[in-house]
């Protein structure tokens, strides 16, 4: 079936529908990841977005429900050059197109995504419309009238409504060593060595699983949980998750985080990093085309090492007016924006990227080591 992708500037691409039919609007942004499309589509930080996948073939290893980052797709639509007609992965439970249709998620294939990505890189992310039912003129109009990410509170639509203790599968997947009598597909978990309250701004399952694999017991709370309620739980530390939307409009959350500063060690990622910075007096700004992909280079200014990171961010902490007590310890090597902040006197360390090890590169042990060190120093 014919489908149309229209941008708010009047640019129109014609292709074929994948998944469901109908009309969806959102902010089109290009994503440079080679793998991890399922995780991207179910990541709450993708709420409000229409990812444009620059890798030419998407869906080639199908969908495995075990790999979902949340209970449902979070993106508004998806744009691909080609969707795989056949998938090959023994863990797959469904092909991508059928999975999308079952979740009423619309997409478009058969367009030049690299040309579209170049357009977005040169002109910035834009509101877009993907449709199987509107004319080109109507689709452009729908894109122009779509909601913008700036000024949007999307956290309230993805945060948990009930406090819960994470008890989902957290063991690292592995191949069994049958010759040694090991028939398990999972590694053993370490004992619990610390407790965290996790503010859910759109937390992913892999983030919680990775925290547990690093020895942390996680109690997940609503994004608007008062500081007093968190302190009453007596955790060893606080973790601020990633999530969608504009952090600048979440003043109530930043106020609660400001009350927690200095009382417990605090770590954060993505919008959690941005909200903590706001709580400490910094400001945020929208990125021209965002950081979306599993190959974002980040330099640790303290030791000179470079991390290849997974990011799904549309906003960043501004360097301008950064409070003196905040030290920039990591920098995005593509555009020079802030990728990591540390408070000079309080146990606070936050990063722009997603340190969970699924999907994307490995090697974030140092991040979790820093959380452990902050907690141990506080207890000493």
Q: What is the pLDDT of residue 378?
A: 86
Could you tell me the sign of the dihedral formed by the alpha carbons of 200, 205, 210, 211, in that order? positive
The per-residue pLDDT string of the chain (380 residues; one tens digit each, 9 = 90 and over) reads: 999 999 999 999 999 999 999 999 999 999 999 999 999 999 999 999 999 999 999 999 999 998 999 999 999 999 999 999 899 998 899 999 999 999 999 999 999 999 999 999 999 999 999 999 999 999 999 999 999 999 999 999 999 999 999 998 888 877 777 676 676 777 889 999 999 999 999 999 999 999 999 999 999 999 999 999 999 999 999 999 999 999 999 999 999 999 999 999 999 999 999 999 999 999 999 999 999 998 899 999 999 999 999 999 999 999 999 999 999 999 999 999 999 999 999 999 999 999 876 666 666 677 888 898 999 888 76
Q: What is the 3-state secondary structure (H, E, C) of 271-314?
A: HHHHHHHHHCCCCEEEEEEEEEEEEEEEEECCCCCEEEEEEEEE
CA distance 215 to 217: 7
Each domain of the chain, given as residue ranges in start order, spans: 2-144, 155-175+185-379
CB under 8 Å to 14, separation ≥6 — which residues? 2, 3, 4, 5, 111
Q: What is the pLDDT of residue 36?
A: 93
CB 7 within 8 A of CB 128: yes
**Would you say domain 155-175+185-379 falls under CATH 3.40.50.880?**
yes
Q: What is the pLDDT of residue 286?
A: 98
Nearest Cα residue to 333 out of 305, 312, 362? 305
What is the DSSP secondary-structure string of 239-268?
Answer: EE----S-GGG-HHHHHHHHHHBTTB-EEE
Nearest Cα residue to 111 out of 96, 128, 86, 99? 128
In terms of DSSP H, where are the helices of the chain? 37-42, 96-102, 113-123, 136-144, 205-213, 227-232, 251-260, 271-279, 365-379
Looking at the whole model, is its pTM more than 0.85?
A: yes
Q: Token pair 């007016």 is at which residue? A: 321
Fold for 2-144, please state it.
Glucose Oxidase; domain 1 (3.50.30)
Tens of pLDDT, residues 182-226: 767 778 899 999 999 999 999 999 999 999 999 999 999 999 999
349, β-bridge pairs: 267, 342
Dihedral (C-alpha) 352, 356, 360, 366: value to the nearest 10 degrees? 80
CB 19 within 8 A of CB 107: yes
């Amino acid at each position: 079936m014919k489908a149309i992708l229209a941008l708010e500037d009047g640019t129109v691409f014609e292709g074929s529908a994948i998944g469901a039919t109908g009309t969806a609007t959102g902010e089109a942004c290009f994503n440079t990841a080679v793998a991890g499309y399922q995780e991207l589509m179910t990541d709450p930080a993708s709420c409000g977005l229409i990812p444009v996948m620059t890798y030419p073939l998407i869906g080639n290893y199908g969908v495995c429900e075990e790999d979902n980052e949340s209970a449902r797709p979070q993106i508004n639509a998806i744009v691909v050059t080609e969707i795989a007609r056949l998938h090959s992965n023994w863990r797959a439970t469904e092909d991508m197109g059928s999975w999308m249709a079952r979740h009423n998620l619309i997409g478009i294939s058969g367009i030049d995504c690299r040309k579209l990505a170049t357009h977005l890189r040169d002109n910035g992310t834009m509101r877009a419309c993907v449709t199987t039912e509107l004319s080109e003129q109507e689709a452009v109009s729908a894109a122009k009238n779509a909601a913008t990410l700036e000024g949007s509170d999307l956290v309230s639509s993805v945060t948990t409504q009930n406090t819960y203790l994470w008890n989902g599968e957290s063991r690292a997947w592995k191949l069994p060593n049958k010759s040694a009598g090991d028939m398990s597909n999972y590694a053993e978990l370490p004992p619990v060595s610390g407790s965290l309250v996790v503010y859910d701004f759109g937390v992913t399952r892999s983030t919680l699983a990775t925290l547990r694999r690093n020895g942390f017991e996680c109690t997940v709370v609503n994004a608007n949980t008062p500081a007093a309620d968190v302190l009453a739980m007596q955790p060893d530390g606080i973790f601020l998750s990633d999530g969608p939307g504009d952090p600048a409009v979440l003043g109530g959350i930043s106020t609660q985080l400001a009350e927690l500063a200095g009382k417990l060690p605090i770590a954060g990622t993505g919008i959690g990093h941005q909200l903590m910075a706001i709580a400490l007096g910094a400001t945020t700004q929208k990125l021209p085309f965002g950081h979306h992909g599993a190959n974002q280079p980040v330099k640790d200014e303290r030791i000179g090492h470079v991390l290849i990171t997974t990011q799904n961010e549309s906003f960043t902490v501004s360097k301008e007016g950064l409070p003196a007590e905040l030290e920039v310890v990591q920098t995005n090597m593509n555009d020079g924006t802030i990728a990591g902040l540390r408070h000079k006197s309080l146990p606070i360390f936050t990063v722009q990227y997603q340190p969970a090890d699924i999907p994307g590169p490995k090697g974030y042990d140092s991040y979790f080591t820093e959380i452990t060190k902050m907690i141990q120093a506080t207890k000493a």
